[in-house]
Amino acid sequence: MNIVVVGAGTMGAGIAQVFAQAGFSTLVYDLETSTVERAEKGIQKNLNKAVELGKMAPEQVNATLNKLRFTTVFHDLVGDFIIEAIVERLDVKIDLFTRLASQNSESTIFATNTSSIPITQIAAKVPNPERVVGVHFFNPAHIMKLVEIISGAHTSPELAQACFDLMKQIGKTPVMAKDAPGFIVNRVARHYYVEGLKALEEQVTDHEGIDRLMENIGFKMGPFRLMDLIGVDTNFSVTSSMFELFAQDAKFRPSRIQKQKVDAGHHGRKSGKGFYYY
């Protein structure tokens, strides 16, 4: 099976690494040459780190890198399983899959790594919508085991099961999910971030205090450290999307503090500054 990953940002690079490590020929695409180059260096860094930690043998690094190819040419994007990890915009995702449909077979699986956009809405305007499925990885994709397999109204049950089996094959722990706003994890976890931000807005304590308290009671990361890891902009985008999908239910209200961070370009670890400095 040939894998194509569209989008070479943090998530796309991590997803590509996982497939390559599992022995799949994997093509990584992005519009920007600089993004592709950064992804290649990032994957190399992750692999070297795994060797340092004793989790991977040096020869496995070479084997993984040999399975990876990088491109900025859209016409190259032909495969058996194509997964996108691009901007969280419905129109952009529909346009991407429509263009991909014109140069791939009807049996090519179209997977979206969307965090919150309904799969049904994406698939509705894509040729052969039964082959569109949500395959939602979590950041960092090369470490986090959980993957949500989301079936839209059109998604073939057999295709969803094939994706479920594929995730097990690459060492992930898949779970089937319905096409509901936020799916499972983002719906449940959203309040971890939203309530943390509300407490900050109300000046209950500072963000460091909130993180410290949550970590002391057993959470691996407080909400603000976690937002910085995920990407403050990405987190804000998901919250905004869910706010609209749930008919502006107040419990999903985006935070003005988080929006200000996004407007300032303070996107977390990837930008060097979020709620913390890096």
Domain hosting residue 46, numbered range: 3-178
Calculate the CA 148 to chain-centre distance: 11
Q: Are residues 131 and 224 in the same domain?
A: no
Q: Are 29 and 5 in contact (CB under 8 A)?
A: yes
Q: Which residues are catalytic?
A: 115, 136, 148, 186
Looking at residue 243, its pLDDT comes to: 94
Q: Are residues 40 and 83 in the same domain?
A: yes
- pLDDT-derived band at 69 (thresholds 50, 70, 90) equals very high
Q: Is the pTM of this model over 0.75?
A: yes
Q: What is the CATH number of the domain that holds 197?
A: 1.10.1040.50
Looking at residue 172, its pLDDT comes to: 98
Q: Are residues 87 and 132 in the same domain?
A: yes
Q: pLDDT digits over 3-28, tens only?
A: 999 999 999 999 999 999 999 999 99
Q: Are residues 134 and 32 in the same domain?
A: yes
- pLDDT-derived band at 116 (thresholds 50, 70, 90) equals confident
Q: Are residues 203 and 168 in the same domain?
A: no
3-state SS string over 8-58? CCHHHHHHHHHHHHCCCCEEEECCCHHHHHHHHHHHHHHHHHHHHCCCCCH
Q: What percentage of the chain carries pLDDT values higher than 70?
A: 100
- pLDDT-derived band at 218 (thresholds 50, 70, 90) equals very high
76 found inside a domain: yes
End position of a domain, from candidates 178, 207, 238:
178
Q: Are residues 147 and 241 in the same domain?
A: no
Total structural domains within the chain: 2
Q: Are residues 174 and 223 in the same domain?
A: no
224 found inside a domain: yes
**Averaged pLDDT score across all residues of the chain:** 96
**Rounded average pLDDT over 46-62:** 94
Residue 171, sorted as left (phi over 0), alpha (psi -120 to 50) or beta, turns out to be left
Looking at residue 244, its pLDDT comes to: 93
Q: Are residues 114 and 142 in the same domain?
A: yes
148 found inside a domain: yes
278 found inside a domain: no
Q: Are residues 50 and 94 in the same domain?
A: yes
275 found inside a domain: no
**Rounded average pLDDT over 117-124:** 96
Q: If we measure between CA atoms, which residue out of 34, 31, 35 comes closest to residue 10?
A: 35
149 found inside a domain: yes
- Tokens representing 212 are 């410290």
Rounded to an integer, what distance in angstroms lies between the CA atom of residue 59 and that of residue 45?
A: 15
End position of a domain, from candidates 178, 196, 231:
178
194 found inside a domain: yes
**Rounded average pLDDT over 135-141:** 94
Q: Are residues 152 and 15 in the same domain?
A: yes
- pLDDT-derived band at 99 (thresholds 50, 70, 90) equals very high
Q: pLDDT digits over 140-199, tens only?
A: 899 999 999 999 999 999 999 999 999 999 999 999 999 998 999 999 999 999 999 999
- Tokens representing 77 are 């994007």
Q: Are residues 23 and 140 in the same domain?
A: yes
Q: What is the CATH number of the domain that holds 93?
A: 3.40.50.720
- pLDDT-derived band at 221 (thresholds 50, 70, 90) equals very high
End position of a domain, from candidates 178, 202, 222:
178
Q: Are residues 164 and 199 in the same domain?
A: no
276 found inside a domain: no
